[in-house]
Amino acid sequence: MEPQLAATDYHMQVATAVDERRLWQRHLKMAVFGARDDGGVNRQALSPADVSARIQLIEWATSRGYACATDPVGNLFVRREGRNPSLPAILTGSHLDSQPAGGKFDGVYGVLAGMEVLHALDTVGVATERAIEVVAWTNEEGSRFVPGMAGSSAFAGTLPLEKLLATRDREGILFEDALASVLAATPNVKRRALGFPVGAYLEAHIEQGPVLESTRCGIGVVAGIQGTRWFTVHVKGASAHAGTTPLAMRRDAFKATTSIVTALSSLLADGDDVLRFTVGRVVVEPNSPNTVPGSVQFTIDFRHPDFEILKKLGDRVESTCMEHAGKCDILVNETLNMSPIQFDKTITDIVSAAADELGLARMFLTSGAFHDAKSLSEMCPTGMIFVPCANGISHSPSENADPAGLAAGARVLALAVEQLAQRTTLSSPGRR
Ligand code: HGY
Ligand code: MN
Ligand code: MN
């Protein structure tokens, strides 16, 4: 029995025009930029590898006649024109930067799936009312320049441009200087102002968790994103000789850090295993085997889907550090405070309908990871589509996905984006 073709059978043509093989090959090509010996990727924001990935995206875009543009924080846009240029474009995309020991799919999938949407609409010859722009947001990961989602936050106006440009990485390199080298490497890309009206935003991403794979569900309709709070803690003691300094005279910054992290682990313990608490970066100085550490800087990544819990416990982080600092001085700096968000019902309905039209199993889920879609949700109807990744692993060289799964997500994205691009009126954000 032939599957019932959807009412608009050009949808099936568009979905079919998404090319699984091209999508997969482009992932392998992008994985060359920042390739690690262990099969992972180190393509940190505004690095030479990031520049190469940007140049590759621009090449694919210009070979199809799309206009490219970049803004004052390096967000990169690929535009397919619509019939009505006065209507705000539909944006889709994600990020090209990766973790230092990242994988081949986190972020880049959303950019390449967006390019498949443009390609498929061209192949079928579908004109849309609104323009569609594929975007690669700058510095989503936040591992080189803190905080994450920096480019999309600056675009949405929630992170001041001057503050971002003045941010330094751990080598002391200014974001502004690193960006200048990126822009210099792409001189022919049109410059545009920071921020512009957006009709709607839809981002495709690997789930980075085990739910879809374990439930054999190919499409995640993302209902929202849990909240995240980031802190950097500086524990200041005194360097001293490891052999001659009595313990009673020490201001050992590392020993103080162990007490602090133990206390934070108690504060942020959760028998239901919903709360997420990570100390991912620890810098011990002077980092010598026979010198008592005089300084430790460490990071706190705390996440929870419930606003009240995030607030109540997050607000106790600083005092907990102070209470367990011993003879050391403490400086706590909150670098990210992102409340949990719910995505627009308009968007989740369209994504659900697109998955149904393609006969793909789908389920709602909340994202444990943050994404640039959080920034866009402040300014327009926004949503996300997840696809499974192997064993739910991400932020790891063993991150993996399968070609058919990636293509299925891109097909749902194509139908959903096309539908949004045909609508001359779209609700403003916040109408859930
Ligand atoms: O950390 C995050 O949630 C994102 O993957 N950068
Ligand atoms: Mn990501
Ligand atoms: Mn990531």
Q: What is the DSSP string of 290-314?
A: TEE--EEEEEEEEEES-HHHHHHHH
Residues near ligand 3 ion, CB 5 Å cutoff: 106
Q: Rounded to the nearest whole angstrom, what is the distance from the C-alpha of residue 142 to the centroid of ligand 1?
A: 8
pTM: 0.96
What is the per-residue pLDDT for 432?
Answer: 40
Residue 320 near residue 265, CB atoms below 8 Å: no
What share of the chain has pLDDT > 90, as a percent?
A: 97
DSSP symbol at 427: P
Residue 15, CA distances (Å) to 221, 248, 335, 356 in order: 18, 70, 41, 13
* Residue 206 φ then ψ, to 5°: -70, 150
What is the per-residue pLDDT for 412?
Answer: 98
User: Which residues form ligand 1's pocket by a CB distance below 6 Å?
Assistant: 140-141, 148, 369-370
Residue 7 has pLDDT above 60, yes or no: no
The atom number, within ligand 1, closest to the CA of 140 reads 6
Q: Rounded to the nearest whole angstrom, what is the distance from the C-alpha of residue 396 to the centroid of ligand 3?
A: 10
**Smallest-distance ligand from the CA of 141:** 1
**Could you report the per-residue pLDDT of 216-254, keeping only the tens digit for each?**
999 999 999 999 999 999 999 999 999 999 999 999 999
The arithmetic mean of pLDDT across residues 112-133, rounded, is: 98
Residue 38 has pLDDT above 80, yes or no: yes
Residue 3 has pLDDT above 60, yes or no: no
Distance in angstroms (rounded) separating the CA atoms of residues 252 and 240: 9
Q: Rounded to the nearest whole angstrom, what is the distance from the C-alpha of residue 294 to the centroid of ligand 3?
A: 32
Which of 208, 222, 277, 300 has most ligand 1 atoms within 8 Å of CB, for mutation?
A: 208
Residue with tokens 């930067």: 97
Q: Rounded to the nearest whole angstrom, what is the distance from the C-alpha of residue 371 to the centroid of ligand 1?
A: 6
**Smallest-distance ligand from the CA of 95:** 2
> Greatest CA separation found in the chain?
84
Residue 414 near residue 15, CB atoms below 8 Å: yes
What is the per-residue pLDDT for 24?
Answer: 98
**Could you report the per-residue pLDDT of 314-329, keeping only the tens digit for each?**
999 999 999 999 999 9
**Smallest-distance ligand from the CA of 203:** 2
Residue 213 near residue 386, CB atoms below 8 Å: no
| pLDDT band at 427; cut points 50, 70, 90 | confident
| pLDDT band at 430; cut points 50, 70, 90 | low
What is the per-residue pLDDT for 258?
Answer: 98
**Closest to 163 measured CA to CA, from 73, 43, 95, 98:** 73
Distance in angstroms (rounded) separating the CA atoms of residues 83 and 88: 12
**Closest to 408 measured CA to CA, from 364, 357, 370:** 357
Residue 9 has pLDDT above 90, yes or no: no
Residue 59 has pLDDT above 90, yes or no: yes
**Could you report the per-residue pLDDT of 176-193, keeping only the tens digit for each?**
999 999 999 999 999 999
**Could you report the per-residue pLDDT of 356-367, keeping only the tens digit for each?**
999 999 999 999
What is the per-residue pLDDT for 8?
Answer: 59
What share of the chain has pLDDT > 70, as a percent?
A: 97
The structure tokens listed for 345 are 């019902």
Distance in angstroms (rounded) separating the CA atoms of residues 234 and 221: 40
The structure tokens listed for 357 are 């039209």
Q: Rounded to the nearest whole angstrom, what is the distance from the C-alpha of residue 152 to the centroid of ligand 3?
A: 14
- Measuring from atom 6 of ligand 1, which residue has the nearest CA? 141
The atom number, within ligand 1, closest to the CA of 368 reads 3
- Measuring from atom 5 of ligand 1, which residue has the nearest CA? 369
Measured on CA atoms in the order 189, 192, 194, 200, is the torsion positive or negative?
A: negative
Which of 137, 139, 140 has most ligand 1 atoms within 8 Å of CB, for mutation?
A: 140
**Smallest-distance ligand from the CA of 110:** 2
